[in-house]
Structure 1
């Protein structure tokens, strides 16, 4: 059975803010001091990330 390959970081192309996935609260959190919290974020998702992982074998 295939599994989901979730991204663990993302970066806004407008303001540079980086978020990381927080597994304990199942939500994105701001990873650094850069960027604006209230920017209309444009995340660098360009279609190269494959969300499906095929099991080996």
Structure 2
């Protein structure tokens, strides 16, 4: 049985609403235009335990 480790593709801040999507071309998180949120926010990403990084 093989396992696949996945990474999340999107995330959002529960404090300011900023959203980000993973961009494989630049290997970094990118912010869609209009979803910048608060510049001074210490982002609290929506890690809820629903995302499962290991696939069987």
Gaps of 5+ in 1: none
Provide Cα deviations, 1:1-57, integer angstroms capped at 9, x if missing partner: 211121111000000000000001111111231312441000011111110011xxx
The normalised TM-score by structure 2 is 0.83
Query: Which residue is equivalent to 1:49?
Result: 51
4+ runs deviating over 6 angstroms: none
Gaps of 5+ in 2: none
Give the number of aligned pairs. Answer: 54
The normalised TM-score by structure 1 is 0.82
Distance in 2 (CA, whole Å) between partners of 1:4 and 1:37 is 32
